[in-house]
Structure 1
Amino acid sequence: MSPSHFLTWLDPITQYMPTWFQQGGSIMWLLLLLSIITNVVILERLFFWFIYSLQKERYIVQECFAALTRQQKTEALLACQALKSPALTMLQEGINLLPLSPKERMTYAQKIQISQMSRGQKLLRSAMFITPILGLSGALLILTQSFDMFSHQTIQDAAVIIPSIAQALIPLTCSVAILLLILVPHQLFRSLLIKQTLHLENIRHQFHHICMQHHLVQTSEEAPSPKEEVVKQENKPVSEQQEMPYHYEFSDETGEVHVAIHEQTEAIKQVPHSAIAKMYNQELALGKTKSYEHTNKLQ
């Protein structure tokens, strides 16, 4: 459908529009459509922030923190589920991940909540740029048509030009009015979004502080490193090491080796005592060699 056919279809509706709307030209329909879309978004966002302001979120957040202080994870989770709000949803994500570190999960949840609260902001921002362009385009279009008409006839009175200039200012004036109606709610929603971003950041830091203070999160210090595990294993008695599931005692008087085997190990029972004695002698000789080398270094 061409633009001329579309405007012809709108002629019956245009007759019921105000005179100034008809004089504004076809660009007025685009401005009207843009104003309707932006008004719907503004009303939806106003309703969202109004409902959010009525929620008693801070009391539930305090209940959740009190339950975490008592190390009652289930009660804290139930408190978060009592109300659906950005802060409680973020806390619920962090509690579900305990005792693992919830730092990354909560940061991601915070970004999702901020994205949901900023819904419609991009559209309003785009409308703020498009509206004055449409108004200026409508004014230039009317002036171009007027000058084209004046070029085919002799102008004897300047009063003939003034109505055309006034007609060209109609879409420009409407675009400025629509821009102001968009700008004020957009700045209001932006300030509320910044405030809620700081609020979520504060709650996230409080949650992390409580978890660290009451040892609800396993830190890297609590989990032994592989090097510490090796040192701890070496410091164990021979009978407790997994690598040697037996212990033996060598008697200097009789020269006998007494071997005690763990109950968990059955295969070691098949090892002859002579082989174990030989292994013990090798270890004893190795120790003497190291002691001799150390003495030479000191000398």
Structure 2
Amino acid sequence: MAVGSGRFPRVAVLQGGMSAEREVSLATGHECAIALRAAGYEVVEVDAGPDLPEVLARLKPAVVFNALHGRWGEDGCVQGILEWLRIPYTHSGVLASALALDKQRTKEVYRAAGLPVVESLVVAREAVEAGHVLAPPYVVKPNNEGSSVGVYIVHPGSNAPRLAETMPAEVMVEAYVPGRELTTTVMGDRALLVTDIITDGWYDYHAKYAPGGSRHQIPADLPEEITAACLDYALRAHRALGCRGLSRTDFRWDEARGLAGLVLLETNTQPGMTPTSLAPEQAAHLGISFPELMDWMVRDASCDR
């Protein structure tokens, strides 16, 4: 469905929700609402809860801008509700959203598409705490959360980790890849740029969201071969998962191994969307302002694809 901002349609911005990423979603949603108003839309901000179908039926928005993060908002659940209500919505559909939030299934799709990944397992948290299920170094994280929520790095010589009670019953254990943290945004059928995310340590929740937690070099200073591979891999991942609209694929690159050291970590179907977030930052570098990006996303909104 194409909607022009000149007609001032009503857009409902879904934010908040019930996942571990609620606060990130509230920040994203508020910034998106400001930009959408600047682009000429009538905007209603909705804190998504169990009464969401009734709220949307009352509001009758022309489009839903999905600014939810994590479970229920990013995993196909709310997308299914919107399909049922026949309301066009931004970002990816039901299947792509469900696949991308499940990190292990994402890796299976990557492998089938010929994209490079590292060894990983999904195992019971009790097994992780009882002993090393992979040779250190490795990473332990929830299989279906984003924003680096609940990430543990286990170094050589360390004991098996003691996980927080908030960790799920099953977790992903993934071989640790040394090197640089890179990311590429896909906008429709176009891979934008590569950003080098520079931190003093792991790119964790604090590094992502705290002021000064990380620095972004854009475009990344990389060999042409690595830049081209990131752009190619991100677009192929977007298509293999069946994404639509905007996505962002994250990489680790071990410089010492050249192209063989570049691996995909995950694809974010609903990346952070504040003006200084990675995806909008790449768009801005190419001359696409934040309100213009929001407008494009609303125009791209749909059901059934």
Q: Which bin holds the TM-score, normalised by the shorter protein?
A: under 0.3
The structure carrying a bigger strand percent of its residues is 2
| TM-score of the superposed pair, with normalisation by structure 2 | 0.20
TM-score with structure 1 setting the length: 0.20
- Report which structure shows greater RCO (CA 8 Å, sep ≥6): 2
Q: Which has the higher helix share?
A: 1
